[in-house]
Amino acid sequence: MSELTPEPLRDSRRRFLGWLTGLIAAIITILAGVPLVALFVSPALKRGKELWVDLGPVKTVPPNEPTAFTFSYQRVDGWLQTMVYGTAYAVRPTSESLFVLSNICTHLGCPVRWSDKARSFLCPCHGGIFDIDGKVVGGPPPRPLPRYRFRAVKGVLQIRIEQG
């Protein structure tokens, strides 16, 4: 049969079949590739969800006395759900002002605690010392204690947790 088909027609048919095969392969690649690219790129483009966690009544925070509040929330990371527990210290330097400190030392992440006797936050791991404002007074910590963004809703103190 190939003897009966003229040479130019045979070449154009091969070119057309090659072009059609390439087109089909490109369509399949795009249809399979776009979802895969989206799967890997979308987490980087997602904005972290903000979560407000209740600490306790604002009125329980006395002036010039750090008050420890324990909190917990559920962190969702893909299909993994874990409970996260933490402690934050609310400090009221004056009757009109308030701030909330993390209890995580900026040196190696150990939990600090308030000492009434020393009037400081003390880190048990490497001797870090922070004043009532969270500023480094002694030891190896490179930065002050982190501050949480906070708000009061109907008399309840809340802190903002970044997720994602």
Q: How many CA atoms lie within 13 A of 43 on its CB side?
A: 7
Predicted TM-score (pTM) of the model is: 0.69
pLDDT, tens digit, for every residue of 2-46? Answer: 566 666 666 788 888 889 999 999 999 988 888 888 777 776 666
- Residue spans of the domains in the chain: they are 1-46, 49-163
- pLDDT top residue among 106 and 38: 106
For residue 43, the model assigns a pLDDT of: 66
Domain 49-163 superfamily per CATH:
Rieske [2Fe-2S] iron-sulphur domain (2.102.10.10)
Q: Is 109 exposed, middle or buried (0-12, 13-18, 19+ CB in 10 A)?
A: exposed
- Residues 53 and 102: their CA atoms lie apart, in Å, by 13
Q: How many residues does the chain have?
A: 164
pLDDT, tens digit, for every residue of 118-141? Answer: 999 999 988 899 999 999 999 899
Kindly compute the dihedral angle of the four CA atoms of residues 12, 13, 14, 15, in this order, to the nearest 10 degrees: 50
- φ, ψ of residue 97 in degrees (nearest 5): -115, 155
